[in-house]
Amino acid sequence: MERKKVTIAELQQKKMAGEKITMMTAYDYPTGSLVDQAEIDTILVGDSLGMVMLGYDSTVPVTMDEMIHHCKAVSRGVHCSFIIGDMPFMSYQVSVEQAIENAGRFMKEGACDSVKLEGGSEMASVVKAIVTAGIPVCGHIGLTPQTATKLSGFKVQAKDAKSAQQLEKSAKDLEEAGAFMIVMECIPDLVAARITRELNIPTIGIGAGKDCDGQVLVYHDLVGLFERFTPKFVKQYINLSPQIKEALVQFKSDVEKGAFPGPEHIFTMKPEEAEKI
């Protein structure tokens, strides 16, 4: 059967049926295409691209134009997975009007199916305004990397009862504001399980235990292409960096020894034509 574009209704049905939802980040055409071919439900063009693709120290410097550039590339390679564009720092905080305008760019220019933004109860009115404008919004609570400085670093959140209750309130406020899904990052598994039970919309965990409705990982972590650090919650399925480095070293050596290009890589002329030169 021909696979069709994943819809929000299907993601919701998966939650109801207790079927897990999959999400993977992608930042370019070939990766978008591979993730789509792997039939992963949703693709997040995450602002993590600032660190894993652009070499920034955090996601804070990422701009709207950078995000749109990468969303365009991903969406060209994707036919069925549901694409979520990640709104960068300060693209939705300054005013509701600017938030709607920037969310609109993800849909019109980036060819995304929805947007994601970080923040809890304090962002509910912005989420509501974007949803009212006709753009589906995915929330993101717990460790929110754009405001890691305010959280005093990349730390597990909601570790005590009071902050766990606040987080649950945030999740409920985002659901009420119209979010169709919520990413929960770096929180204790019990807190994530409780929020997942309490909400009608799906939750996607990253460092939030196994009881979320789905899981997301950063592609570069999964395939071993980001060497600066590996968070505890990452499962590396393949370690590509050493293999790619080895191939590059081999190429250099082959060129230097004259072993590349070989006869099979060379275009030749008919001898009678060669004689005329």
**Site map (CB under 6 A) of ligand KIV, residues 164-203, x = contact:** -------------------x-x------------------
- Backbone φ and ψ for 231, nearest 5 degrees, come out as -65, 155
In single-letter form, the type of residue at position 137 comes to V
CB 57, min distance to ligand KIV, A: 15
> Cβ closer to ligand KIV: 27 or 77?
27
213 binds ligand KIV (CB under 6 A): no
Are 222 and 196 in contact, with CB atoms under 8 Å apart?
A: no
| Range in contact with ligand KIV (rule: CB under 6 A) among 39-47, 106-114, 122-130, 232-240 | 39-47
Q: How far is it, in rounded angstroms, from Cα 231 to Cα 39?
A: 25
Tokens of 151: 């959280």
Catalytic pick from 66, 168, 175, 185? 185
DSSP letter at 170?
H
Comparing every residue's Cβ against ligand KIV, the nearest one is 46
Residue among 26, 212, 218, 225 that touches ligand KIV (CB under 6 A):
218
44 binds ligand KIV (CB under 6 A): yes
> Cβ closer to ligand KIV: 44 or 187?
44
Catalytic site includes residue 122: no
In single-letter form, the type of residue at position 58 comes to S
Residue in 17, 4, 36 with CA at minimum distance from that of residue 202: 17
Are 84 and 38 in contact, with CB atoms under 8 Å apart?
A: no
Question: 223: buried, middle or exposed (CB in 10 Å: 19+, 13-18, 0-12)?
Answer: middle
Q: Please report, as ranges, the residues that interact with ligand KIV according to CB under 6 A.
A: 25, 44, 46-48, 86, 140, 183, 185, 206, 216, 218
Catalytic residues: 185
